[in-house]
A and B are shown apart, each in its own frame.
Chain A
Amino acid sequence: MLVVYSIVEILYVLLLAPLVAGIQYKMEERLESRQGPSVLQPYYDLIKLFGKESLVPKVSSPVYRLGPYVVFMFYLFIAIILPIITAFPLSYASAADFVGGGLLFGAASAVKKFTAIDSRCNYAHLGTSRSASLGALSEPIMVLIFIMLGVLSDTNNPFVINHVLRNSSHWYFSLLHGFVVIAFFIILIIETGQLPVESHTNGELGMIDQAMPFEYTGRDLAMYKWAAYMKSFLLMSVFLNVYILPFAVPTEDAGVLTIVVYMGIHLAKLIGLVLVFALLNTTVSKFRLYKNFDFLAVAFALAFLASLAYYISKP
């Protein structure tokens, strides 16, 4: 039975990630009183891209070709080890804990950077250097956040943390939790590329993550984009299921129907978060590039203060 759930979870992540991205684009456009693309537009884009041919620069190495597939693989693997549709660990969930998940995210972005460098495109190099400098600060913060949240359950297991936060209102309303939530929200903005860090347009002045796949075409680009959608989906799911709204996730004794119902509830939660992002994208303006580092410093400060708050409240 567990195997079936695992397959269902992978398929869930795979198939619904573009939908969530499409809903975000549509919402942003509707908030600006425009018609906007259809919600299924990312699917149409992916199907179109799969039909096109991939062009490869002559000077690149096999890393360029294989990169997007490796990244795709990483994200699929992460989909199993996180609590997305169930609150109990599935088949391979014990392969990596929370910190391992954070490191896997880091590995995926490292591979992305390698492929970008290998593409020998100037814009890709630009994006890589910016992404690397931001990443040098945001990856440790992410690991710090994961560790701090693990402190409240004395483990590093996201499933146990989910359980603790669902049942104990003392931890849910504590300062530690509050600080970590705000810090992770900031990291989420940076990693998924929302305003005020990165806007959707391809402006050279502000491109960070968007500049990296500049040289890709065809099927490789389709994989790359799909992997990007999955990354957003996974990070948002972690935020919702482990940090903010760990409720209603089906536990071990739930039946199949509960899990199916929960898949719908999870989509609703994601749409709620996407609405927040859409509001953010239509109201704030983009930071000057170097201000992003100060923004990250604030996130680091909050994560750090979380550890001090925990230390104080320990009896």
Chain B
Amino acid sequence: MLLKLAWRNIWRNKRRTLVVLTSVVVGVVALLLVDTLSVGMLKQMVDNQINYHISHIQIHRKGFSEDKAIEKHIKDYLKVDSVLSSYSQIKIYSKRVISYGLINSAYSSSGVLIVGVEPWVEKDFTMISKSIVQGRYISSDGEILIGLKLAEKLNLKIGDRAVLMVSDLNGNLISNVFRVVGIYQSPSVNFDKVYIYITLKDAQNLFNLGDSVSEFAILLYKAELVNSFKEELSKALGDEYEILTYFEIGPFIRIMIDMYMEFIWIYYLIIGVAVMFGVINIMLMSIFERVKEFGVLKALGMKDSKIFSLIVLESLLIGSLGTLIGLLFGFILYVPLSRSGINLGVFSESLALFGSGRIIYPVLTPFTLFLLLFTMPFISFIASIYPGIKSLRLKPIDALKYI
């Protein structure tokens, strides 16, 4: 019954209530958009890292990640290969040779990270093969795939020759000629400048590695199992190896995620307080209009606590109703955006720096949903306390003072 009374009371002054509702709606929609966009951006950064190179787990000889020297290759590659093939959680894994070198064109030279891969495996493994902007993915020896930024820098086109120069396992300076068959473009400019692809065989020959490899990269069926699977692997493979999850490889992102978690609530708080002022205002206006009425209710025997609850309930109704409508509008905006994304082309260069790509897809997490559902009702609850207390202390005579 109290609920019915509260509901009717809110609508006594339609315009006033609608205005406050609108402010709640605006607040909720704003927060929804800001939050989902931030999360979307972060998720894309992580996904891009995983999909373009890192994958879920990487296995190296211990110490490799610090210093990608060719000497730190995996000697016991056969053992690792057999261990990995026994696991059903692994969707696919790939063998790579990775080390530094210098690439020379007729025009210029640049320091690069040479990645030797098995094309038929790697093709489905990462997004690189799907990000070819000119030419095609490598398929046989003697071919090389480079990033767009690097191609621009070295003035290389499809069909051109490039020389790779490295210091091999024995310390000798080795060079070899390759033909550019493809140019790719990833969301991260820094990636494009540095990573080049040749066949595993070519790389093994170049560095004089025999059949050895530097890295095993693994993609799991379920990304969430990454940490527990890593534990299993460590036990199975032992101490000589370092087994890294994508989080450990890219701490930069982890930190950005932490920053987001720590700061996002501030935005909720600020908007919440702004809305709170409006709610307090109308609740106060509303109780002062009803001074006589409260007097009558009290005379009829209604307890103070009930009157207080009534005020709180009215305020909560406004906050909750506003939240629901806000979420409705928010979803109407969010759903198409989550499909088409927001094109931030204007900021393309800096987004390429962050590695998130120029089209950002907003992402709604349960955490965000919770915050959205909780914030406004909570704020309106807090807002009702002062008016609630005031309503208990009102005497009908006071009504004359407030014209």
A and B interact physically: no
B-binding residues in A (CB < 8 A): none
